[in-house]
């Protein structure tokens, strides 16, 4: 359904997307996981035709999005991060507008609009102006506008940003429903828990590049059996690196004068030896955080930084 090959997008001297490649299939939720500014939104903008790639190719349902964009977009649905709603119109009028833009008419449009209002929990508020809605209600309606025409490929750009927990749960279930009905879903997020709860496959993105890409279970395995130890204090990076290099099954992921991040096997048992080595190297530890292996620790291992930094 979706194939992206060596996608690159530059804005002058800034390269926002640098050689991204992926394939996603019907019935699958494929996640792009990375911090803000990683290139996720730019990638989606190229897929849906809002931006023209600097180089590379994108195919949607077998159609090149640059050379055959009209056909490629016939099967496409987009839920942008910014709300695409008309505040003075009602929820039903917004859905009818977007459904009509996709060529839906008459009874089919009316019936589908009612189905979406019911699915998003907005049927009882369908005649109210959107400007009266809460943030979570607007997010649900924004999602509904992207799926009212039942797209085969659905692009979701951080669809749960800023929503309340109840709306988040409903939105995530709506995403699963799209995949169960056969849609191919490309889901961008910087929320680790959403990626783990939703996605069949994931690409971890940083600085416009995919640094890891695999089914969810394989990515978890890549995190390995090592714990992540985050230390804050005062350090001399060269001296601490030298001291810790003598420790077995320990890797220094990141270190500067005020913090250090280590990947350590059986870290809880080895803390005294690690602290002793750092102290002998002139370091002073003020705070310690120990985490078991997760997707977040894998991201930290691959990029050297926290996902939300």
CB-based contacts of 175, cutoff 8 Å, min separation 6: 29, 156, 159, 185, 187, 198
CATH assignment of the domain containing 265: 3.30.70.1150
202 domain-assigned: yes
Based on the fold, state whether residues 167 and 250 are members of the same structural domain.
Answer: no
Looking at the domain assignment, is residue 112 inside a domain?
A: yes
Residue 191 pLDDT: 82
The reported pLDDT for the residue numbered 116 is 96
194 shares its domain with 266: no
Specify whether 165 is located in the same domain as 259.
no
Residue 145 has pLDDT above 90, yes or no: yes
Q: Are residues 69 and 18 in the same domain?
A: yes
Same domain for 209 and 229, yes or no, is no
Pick the residue with more confidence: 173 or 222?
173
Task: Examine residue 116 and state whether it is found in any structural domain, yes or no.
Answer: yes
If asked whether residues 120 and 166 sit together in one domain, one would say yes
Alpha helices in 159-286 (DSSP H): 165-180, 192-198, 216-222, 237-244, 267-280
| Confidence grade of residue 61 (pLDDT, cut at 50, 70, 90) | very high
CATH, residue 149:
3.40.50.300
Q: Are residues 26 and 96 in the same domain?
A: yes
Q: Do both 247 and 146 map to the same domain?
A: no
**Is 128 inside any structural domain?**
yes
Same-domain check for residues 230 and 161: no
201 in the same domain as 145 = yes
Does residue 54 sit in the same domain as residue 148? yes
Residues of the chain with pLDDT > 90, as a percent, come to: 72
Domain hosting residue 238, numbered range: 225-292
Q: Is the pLDDT of residue 309 over 60?
A: no
Q: How far apart are CA 302 and CA 285, in angstroms?
A: 24
Q: What is the pLDDT of residues 193-244, one digit of tens each?
A: 888 889 999 999 989 999 999 988 788 777 666 788 889 999 999 999 999 9
The three-class DSSP label of residue 188 is: strand
Q: Within a 10 A sphere around the Cβ of 149, how many other Cβ atoms?
A: 20
């Amino acid at each position: 359904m979706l194939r992206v090959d060596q996608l690159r997008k530059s804005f002058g001297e800034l390269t926002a997307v640098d050689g991204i490649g992926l394939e996603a299939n019907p019935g699958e939720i494929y996640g792009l996981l990375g911090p803000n500014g990683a290139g996720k939104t730019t990638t989606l903008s190229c897929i849906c035709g809002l931006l023209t790639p600097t180089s590379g190719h994108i195919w949607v349902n077998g159609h090149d999005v640059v050379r055959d964009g009209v056909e490629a977009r016939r099967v496409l649905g987009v839920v942008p991060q910014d709300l695409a709603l008309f505040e003075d119109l009602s929820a039903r009028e917004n859905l009818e507008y977007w459904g009509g833009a996709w060529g839906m008419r008459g009874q089919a449009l009316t019936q589908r609009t009612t189905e979406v209002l019911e699915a998003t929990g907005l049927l009882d508020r369908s005649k109210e102006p959107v400007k009266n809605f809460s943030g979570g209600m607007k997010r649900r309606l924004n999602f509904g506008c992207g799926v009212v025409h039942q797209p085969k490929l659905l692009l979701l750009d951080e669809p749960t940003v800023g929503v309340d927990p109840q709306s988040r749960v409903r939105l995530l279930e709506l995403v699963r429903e799209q995949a169960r009905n056969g849609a191919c879903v490309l889901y961008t997020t910087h929320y680790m828990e959403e990626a783990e709860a939703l996605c069949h496959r994931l690409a971890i993105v940083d600085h416009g590049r995919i640094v890891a890409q695999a089914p969810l279970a394989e990515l978890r395995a890549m995190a390995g059996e090592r714990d992540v130890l985050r230390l804050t204090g005062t350090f001399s990076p060269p001296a601490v690196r030298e001291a810790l290099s003598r420790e077995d099954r320990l890797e220094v992921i990141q270190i500067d004068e005020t913090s250090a991040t280590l990947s350590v096997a059986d870290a809880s048992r080895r803390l005294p030896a690690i602290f002793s080595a750092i102290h002998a190297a002139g370091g002073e530890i003020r705070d310690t955080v120990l985490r078991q292996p997760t997707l977040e620790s894998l991201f930290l291992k691959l990029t050297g930084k926290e996902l939300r930094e």
